[in-house]
Amino acid sequence: MEEKKPSIILLATGGTSPTWSPDGSKIAFVRDGDIWIMDADGSNQRRLTDHPGDEVNPTWSPDGTMLAYECWEYGRFNWSFCNIWVMNADGSNQRRLTKGPSLDRFPSWSPDGKKIAYESWLVNDPFSMYEIWIIDLTGYNPRRLTTIGARFPSWSPDGERIAFSSANSGNWDIWVIDVDGKNLKKLSTTLTDDYRPIWSPDGKKILFESCGEGGGNCDIWIMDVNGCNLRKLTTSLCMDMYPSWSPKGGKIAFMSTRSGAGDIYIMNADGSALQQLTDNLSGEVGPVWSPDGTKIAFTRINHVRGGDIWVIMLEVAPKETSLTYFLLVGGFLIFLIFLLLAKRFLRVHT
């Protein structure tokens, strides 16, 4: 029987970079260089920022009351500056956290919502490299965490460590460091460049994308948080990118060009049960799961207005079978086999 395709609904035209609020009731997104917000069904769309520069990459605080984002400002002689800003979820109390002549990007909230990690590069220093910094939500006490060149910070669910990408050893690899700056360790050992680490919801694994020389193809990899059990999940010889964990960690959504244009796929966390969810010639990127696991929002590229935001209605959350379940079922089957063998043995010897 042919597999039923999930319905796909247009939520917002001219929008990109959707991100769900922690309770799943709202979606923040980017439109025309400003941060907007809408209800989860696409209604009640409203602009939150109105700045001469561009605001991008909105990121919800863990409690859903605030948004952090990047604010780009363009100066003379083609100099660009980007700082981290925060605001309340209704757009009030907008304030700049970082204040240097720098490119401060990719804000990542600490699990307790009191600090933000980000990458920073001093644009007026020709010897500067991107490094990972941490700053209090008050805007005080900015602290540089790394000194080896680092990008794409990702805070662990327990708040104790930050994963990031660094080319310190040649290729770009995934590294991890404690939030106090101790225990710096390289984790990944692929022969390609590894970017954008993402912790699993339980904090036991790290997902990332790894791209060959020149970006010719990218694959999705996974490993334990100590670097063990490193393995490739996709092998399509195409661009498999933008992985996103499902809320329980049993599924992974991602973008792949294996069907031509970029489409949205899902698979189990071990790489099995691959399923294509979209089939569109425009190209689609950035899938993100709703907190209840029943929807996936993404950007469909539009060459006139930049992009549109769509949502895949999975109707019910994909079944995510745990390892405990397999052990229980396996143990029960072994017990049944033992009983059958014992019964046969008794018949033969009586």
Residue 3 confidence class, pLDDT cut points 50, 70, 90? low
Q: What whole-number percentage of the chain has pLDDT above 90?
A: 73
Give the model's pLDDT for residue 165.
Answer: 97
Give the model's pLDDT for residue 320.
Answer: 52
- pLDDT tens column, 25-70: 999 999 999 999 999 999 999 999 998 889 999 999 999 999 999 9
Give the model's pLDDT for residue 303.
Answer: 82
CATH 2.120.10.30 assigned to 7-348:
yes
The position carrying tokens 């020389």 is 213
Q: Does residue 316 register a pLDDT over 90?
A: no
Q: Does residue 337 register a pLDDT over 90?
A: no
Q: Does residue 233 register a pLDDT over 50?
A: yes
Number of other residues whose CB lies within 10 A of the CB of residue 56: 17
Give the model's pLDDT for residue 127.
Answer: 78
pTM above the 0.85 mark? yes
- pLDDT tens column, 95-146: 999 987 899 999 999 999 999 999 999 887 777 899 999 999 998 889 999 9
Please state the rounded mean pLDDT for residues 211-228: 87
Q: Which phi and psi angles does 332 have, rounded to 5°? A: -65, -40
- pLDDT tens column, 283-309: 999 999 999 999 999 999 988 888 999
4 or 318, higher pLDDT: 4
Cα(79)–Cα(73) distance, rounded to whole angstroms?
9
Lowest mean pLDDT among 101-105, 159-163, 208-212, 213-217: 213-217
Give the model's pLDDT for residue 119.
Answer: 97
Give the model's pLDDT for residue 319.
Answer: 58
Q: Does residue 174 register a pLDDT over 70?
A: yes
203 or 325, higher pLDDT: 203
Give the model's pLDDT for residue 341.
Answer: 45
Please state the rounded mean pLDDT for residues 143-156: 97
- Three-state DSSP string of the chain: CCCCCCEEEEEEECCEEEEECCCCCEEEEEECCEEEEEECCCCCCEECCCCCCEEEEEEECCCCCEEEEEEEEECHHHCEEEEEEEEECCCCCCEECCCCCEEEEEEEECCCCCEEEEEEEECCCCCCCCEEEEEECCCCCCEECCCCCCEEEEECCCCCEEEEEECCCCCCEEEEEECCCCCCEECCCCCCEEEEEEECCCCCEEEEEEECHHHCCEEEEEEECCCCCCEECCCCCCEEEEEEECCCCCEEEEEECCCCCCEEEEEECCCCCCEECCCCCCCEEEEEECCCCCEEEEEEEECCCEEEEEEEECCCCCCCCCHHHHHHHHHHHHHHHHHHHHHHHHHHCC
> Residue ranges per domain, the chain?
7-348
